[in-house]
């Protein structure tokens, strides 16, 4: 990353993309706690990182901690998919960042408990991850180790029947045969019901219009 700061418009565009993510009952459990570089709050976020992530995050334009509400707002009962939904929101943000020509990088390499204490995160919110956003920098200024990590992984697209652990076409084989292919050993004799036809008119379950009163909360509730 170049060290160039992000504009207010860029930041709002990123979080607006996240706000449109689907979530169970339209709960929108995610909250983004963030600091921009060259602000008094920057060091609080930066110091949460492990040494390896500090080596490249010092040139980021924004650091953020993602938290997820663990209970439903409507009834206070446990929400078993709060982390999943927060991940959907981050994915929206990351894709929007890529479309804007920004670098967006998620991390688990930080002190989760220190984040809870330093940012005064309530107990009913789970600390999920951190991410950095910035403008692309000059790869030649990176260490050889970091440059090597920028090379895309060797994952390759292949025939659909070679996707391990994925079911995306009519099933006619037994569950035991399928699990043997996916996991290396048969586990059960349950037979799957063949699908009747490919999905048509697929919609994102749980997606509703964003709650207008949530927008300010995303930016302000935990903003230092």
Question: Is 196 contained in some domain?
Answer: no
Q: In the chain, which residue ranges form alpha helices assigned H by DSSP?
A: 8-19, 42-46, 51-57, 82-99, 112-118, 144-149, 175-183, 212-220
Q: Is 68 helix (H, G, I), strand (E, B) or coil?
A: strand
Distance between the two ends of the chain, CA-based, in angstroms? Answer: 24
Report the number of distinct structural domains present in the chain: 1
Q: Is 186 inside any structural domain? A: no
Spatial distance between the Cα atoms of 38 and 134, rounded to a whole number of angstroms: 13
Percent of the chain with pLDDT over 70: 64
CATH of the domain at 117: 3.40.109.10
* Model-wide pTM > 0.75: no
Give residue-wise pLDDT tens across range 90-146: 999 999 999 999 999 999 999 999 999 999 999 999 999 999 999 997 776 767 776
Residue 68: pLDDT over 70 = yes
- The pLDDT tens digits of the residues spanning 4-61 come to 999 999 999 999 999 999 999 999 999 999 999 999 999 999 999 999 999 889 999 9
Q: Does residue 199 have a pLDDT over 60?
A: no
Side by side, the strands of the sheet bearing 30-36 are: 30-36, 62-69, 125-134, 103-107
How far is Cα 204 from Cα 51, in angstroms, rounded to an integer?
39
User: Is the residue at 136 inside a domain?
Assistant: yes
Report yes or no: 112 and 104 within 8 Å, Cβ to Cβ: no
Quick one: angle between helices 8-19 and 212-220, nearest 10?
130
133 three-state secondary structure: strand
**Position 215 in a domain:** yes
- Pairing mode, strands 30-36 and 125-134: unpaired
Range(s) of the domain holding residue 46: 8-154+207-220
Across the chain, mean pLDDT equals 78
Tokens describing residue 13 = 């565009």
Per-residue pLDDT, 1 = 87
Q: 206 with 25: CB under 8 angstroms?
A: yes
Q: Are strands 30-36 and 62-69 parallel, antiparallel or unpaired?
A: antiparallel
17 domain-assigned: yes
Cα dihedral value 144, 145, 147, 152, nearest 10: 140
In a domain, 175, yes or no: no
Assigned domain for 188 exists = no
Query: 93 lies in a domain?
Result: yes
Confidence (pLDDT) at 167: 47
């Amino acid at each position: 990353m170049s060290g160039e700061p992000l504009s207010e418009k860029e930041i709002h565009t990123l979080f607006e993309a996240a706000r449109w993510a689907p979530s169970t009952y339209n709960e929108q459990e995610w909250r983004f706690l963030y600091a921009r570089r060259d602000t008094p709050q920057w060091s609080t976020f930066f110091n949460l990182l492990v040494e390896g992530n500090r080596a490249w995050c010092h040139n980021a334009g924004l650091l953020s901690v993602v938290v997820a509400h663990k209970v439903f707002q409507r009834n206070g009962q446990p929400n078993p998919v709060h982390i999943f939904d927060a991940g959907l929101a981050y994915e929206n943000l990351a894709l929007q960042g890529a479309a804007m020509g920004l670098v967006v990088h998620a991390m688990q390499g930080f002190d989760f408990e220190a984040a809870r204490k330093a940012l005064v995160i309530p107990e009913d919110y789970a600390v999920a991850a951190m991410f950095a956003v910035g403008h692309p920098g000059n790869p030649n200024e990176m260490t050889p180790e970091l440059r090597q990590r920028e090379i895309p992984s060797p994952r390759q697209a292949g025939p659909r029947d070679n996707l391990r652990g994925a079911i995306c076409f009519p099933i006619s084989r037994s569950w035991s045969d399928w699990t043997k292919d996916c996991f290396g050993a048969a586990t059960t004799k349950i037979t799957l019901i063949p699908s009747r036809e490919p999905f048509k008119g697929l919609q994102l379950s749980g997606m509703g219009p964003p709650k207008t009163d949530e927008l300010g909360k995303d930016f302000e509730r935990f903003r230092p």
